[in-house]
Amino acid sequence: MKDTRDKARELMQGYCRVCKVCDGRACAGEVPGMGGLGTAASFKNNVTALASVRLNMRLLHGVTEPDTATSLLGFDLSMPVLAAPIGGVSFNMGGKVSEEDYIDAVVSGCKSSGVIGCTGDGVPPVIHESGFAAITANSGHGIPFIKPWEGGELGEKLEKARATGCSVFGMDVDAAGLITLRQMGRPVSPKTPEELEAIIATVHGWGAKFILKGVMTPDEAALAAQVGADAIVVSNHGGRVLDHTPGTAEVLPAVAAAAKGRLAILVDGGVRDGADVLKMVALGADAVMIGRPVSVAAIGGLGQGVEKYMAALKAQLTQAMVLTGSADIASVTSRVLYAG
C-alpha cells in the first residue's frame, strides 16, 4: 500500500496529509475536509476507543484457515466489510481525481474484492449522480446513501436511486448536523419515527431493504427496529457533525444488545485494519463500514488501490482470527476480547 498512500498524499495535498496513523489529530477542525468538527474529539474518540479494546491471544486450537465470509442484507461477502458512503472529492480531497473516477473505483474495487461499496450524497449534484452511475455500471452492486433532506428532494433521490438496480438503500441521518448544507440552501434535518416509517415502507414496497446510519444510543436502536429498518450503522458521521461524542466502539455493545436479532448491526469509526474489524464484530457488530482509508486507497490507486487495501484487510483479519482461535465470523464473540 505504500505507493498508493504516497500517491494519495501527493494528490490530496492541502486536504489530507495521509498520516501514518489516521487519528484526527493533524486535521482537527478541518471541515469541510477530512478532519473532525471543532476539537475533533469525536473523531479522536472513535480511534482511541477502538484502540483501547484488546484481544485475547489463543493458540491451543486447530484453526489454521478461518472463514472470513459472511452474509448481510442479501449479500454474500468475503468478509464483514463495506466501504462507507463518502463523496465530494472535488472539495474534500483536492479534486485531482474526478468524482466519477473516485466513486467508480470504490464501488468496482469493492465488488472485485467481494464486499460492498456505498455511495454518498450532497451538494453539488455530481456527488449523487456519480454514485448512482457507478452502482448502475456495476449491475446494482452497491448501496446508495441519501441524506435526510427536507422537502421533495429526499423522495426524488430515492426514486433515482431505485433506477440503479440496487437492493438496499441507506440514509445517513447523522448528516442532519451538516450546517454547511443549510447554508447552501439545501437543508437536512432529523426525521421523526413517523417520517422514517413512511420512508422505509416505500423502500420495502419496492422489494428492497433499508439502512439507517447514525444510531448512537440503545433507545434509538430499538426505535429503528420498531419503525422497520433492516439495519443500523452505529456512527457519529466520522466525528464531523457533533464534537465530544463517545467513540463508536464505546457505545456499540449497548446499542447492539438493544436491537440484536431484530435488525443487522453495522458500525464505523476508527476501523483501520483487520484486527479492528475483528474487535468490532466481537463487540456486537455484524459488519463494519470503513471510510477514510478506503478514500485514500481510491484516490491513490483507483480501483486497484481499493482492491489492494481490501486484500490487506482480509489478510490481517485472517491472521487475527487464527491468533484468537476464531474459526469463522459467526463464532466471534466477546470471548476474543480481554476483559482485564
- Asked, for residue 57, whether it belongs to a domain, the answer is no
Q: How far apart are CA 294 and CA 271, in angstroms?
A: 11
190-195 mean pLDDT: 96
Report DSSP state, residue 25.
Answer: S
Task: Identify whether 29 is part of a domain.
Answer: no
- pLDDT at residue 187 above 90? no
Among the listed residues 150, 105, 155, 96, the one whose alpha carbon sits nearest the alpha carbon of residue 130? 105
The answer as to whether 193 is a domain residue is yes
Residue 236 placed within a domain: yes
Cα 304 to Cα 85: distance, rounded to the nearest angstrom: 19
19 part of a folded domain: no
Number of domain units in the chain: 1
Q: Is residue 35 part of a domain?
A: no
Which of the four pLDDT bands, split at 50, 70 and 90, describes residue 34?
A: confident
Q: Which of 61-75, 80-94, 129-143, 197-211 has the lowest mean pLDDT?
A: 80-94
Q: Out of 48-52, 71-75, 147-151, 230-234, which region has the weakest mean confidence (pLDDT)?
A: 147-151
The verdict on residue 217 lying in a domain is yes
Residue at 38 is within a domain: no
* pLDDT computed for residue 10 by the predictor: 93
- Quote the domain boundaries for residue 203: 70-328
Q: What is the CATH number of the domain that holds 263?
A: 3.20.20.70
Cα separation of 195 and 228, whole Å? 12
Residues of the chain with pLDDT > 90: what percent?
A: 88
Reported pTM: 0.96
